[in-house]
Structure 1
């Protein structure tokens, strides 16, 4: 397990400041929701953590250690919003997952120590099958291309690919927003189960506080690239301190009151 720390993080594109002065900690084995409206900078924060956005201020630490600024094999993995764009259409789903595996096998408790060197072909295939099964994809489909899968299935494969790298921290960027409502709940339940079973720290990026309330231990709220509120999920939901949080909460649909009709 690992913790993620953002200290004074800033991101600029030319003269435009996308993120400024963000301080946030995602503790070991916990789920933090990063929420905000469109253009608030929440996806930029996720990309900055994995080196896909230019960090112009501050530091990003995993277990107190700074992260390399080039994207690659790091203790942090990002699952993107669009399942149709996150997988190479020319690679089979099995090959996509295998590509993300560490070069050497790890010990059974995933502590990071090298076992007996590089994977054999059979070991690699078995690990790919295990990872696909872990996210609810039939391992027999490993040879299929992404085009043969639905959006929800592709997002499951993208999650398996991220888990293949043995991350201590996982960033999920609006992972259900591009999916049909009918499959959103299944993907959220899968993510919640995997986080609990595997114990990684999860930064869950979303605009939907209803989803965050279901999934997260802690909530951080962004507005115009700045962190305006952060605290335990139950406390923030019950007593929001900032107008942006109150606005996001007001967008949660309320169930209509049940009308009781008395028998004559």
Structure 2
């Protein structure tokens, strides 16, 4: 298991500062919910961690070491829209296989055995997320939105990440399948033990999934702490405002 630590992360686009001097620790084996309003910088921060947004200053550390030193990235990102991470021209199986780490020793193995081993790994990861391996030959357009998101999750997990970043991964799905994907994510996180940064605007979902909550506003991290404390006894006005938009959380706070 591994931890994710952000030290003084700043992201600028020209003169505009999207994220400024953010420090955040996601302890090993836990889930941190990153919340905030539209334009707060939460998704930009998640993208910066995996190198998809320019870091002007600061460091991203996994178990105390910079990610650039590790070769293959130990952090994987699952996007809000699975079409952003799945090539529509590639089969489901090929997309998952592409993320599998290569084994140096495997180069001496006959090609037929390598293909069989690869196919077995693809089937294992598809089964892990509840997709029938028989669908491996299909392209993403043959799947439902929930199934595509499961494949995107399988692809991320196939890379053997130490840390997973989930960016609004259920917001583009029908309400009827959101719960199933969230339950799957919760189960996999507990079984596999990876640290996870879960980016969301939905505080009810964050309460269900997360051990701690970090709140962003205007590119700054304004509050962070255990989920129960932050959601039941918020200290910052931004947190209180977010909670007030969710009736069940607001009522829980008043009752506490």
What TM-score results when the alignment is normalised by the length of structure 2?
0.92
Aligned equivalents of 2:190 and 2:204: distance in 1?
Answer: 20
In structure 2, the partner of 1:182 is 176
Aligned equivalents of 1:81 and 1:128: distance in 2?
Answer: 22
1:254 match: secondary structure? helix
Aligned equivalents of 2:46 and 2:169: distance in 1?
Answer: 12
1:41 deviation in Å? 0.4
Q: Judging changes above 3 Å, is the alpha-carbon distance between structure 1 residues 15 and 69 closer, same or farther for their aligned structure 2 residues? A: farther
The answer (yes or no) to whether the contact 1:84–1:151 under 8 Å persists in 2 is no
1:85 deviation in Å? 2.8
1:49 paired with 2:49, answer yes
Q: Deviations over 1:143-192 (max 9, x none)?
A: 00000001110000000000000001000000001000100000000000
Aligned equivalents of 1:177 and 1:244: distance in 2?
Answer: 21
Aligned equivalents of 1:238 and 1:248: distance in 2?
Answer: 12
Aligned equivalents of 1:245 and 1:73: distance in 2?
Answer: 36
Aligned equivalents of 1:158 and 1:59: distance in 2?
Answer: 27
- Please show how residues 114-193 of structure 1 align to structure 2 within 5 Å: 116-118=105-107, 120-193=114-187
Q: Deviations over 1:56-102 (max 9, x none)?
A: 011110010112299x8311000001123321000000000000000
In structure 2, the partner of 1:98 is 97
2:32 match: secondary structure? strand
In structure 1, the partner of 2:24 is 24
The answer (yes or no) to whether the contact 2:96–2:155 under 8 Å persists in 1 is yes
1:254 paired with 2:254, answer no
Aligned equivalents of 1:168 and 1:200: distance in 2?
Answer: 6
In structure 2, the partner of 1:35 is 35
Aligned equivalents of 1:27 and 1:15: distance in 2?
Answer: 33
The answer (yes or no) to whether the contact 2:106–2:114 under 8 Å persists in 1 is no
The answer (yes or no) to whether the contact 1:47–1:53 under 8 Å persists in 2 is yes
How many positions carry a matched residue from both structures?
Answer: 245
In structure 2, the partner of 1:110 is none
Q: Judging changes above 3 Å, is the alpha-carbon distance between structure 1 residues 136 and 103 closer, same or farther for their aligned structure 2 residues? A: same
Structure 1 residue runs of 4+, over 6 Å off?
A: none
Aligned equivalents of 1:128 and 1:95: distance in 2?
Answer: 8
1:142 match: secondary structure? helix
What TM-score results when the alignment is normalised by the length of structure 1?
0.90
Structure 2 residues without counterparts, runs of 5 or longer: 108-112, 252-256
CA RMSD after TM alignment: 1.7
In structure 2, the partner of 1:262 is none
Aligned equivalents of 1:17 and 1:228: distance in 2?
Answer: 16
Structure 1 residues without counterparts, runs of 5 or longer: 105-113, 258-264
The structure where helix makes up a greater share of residues is 2
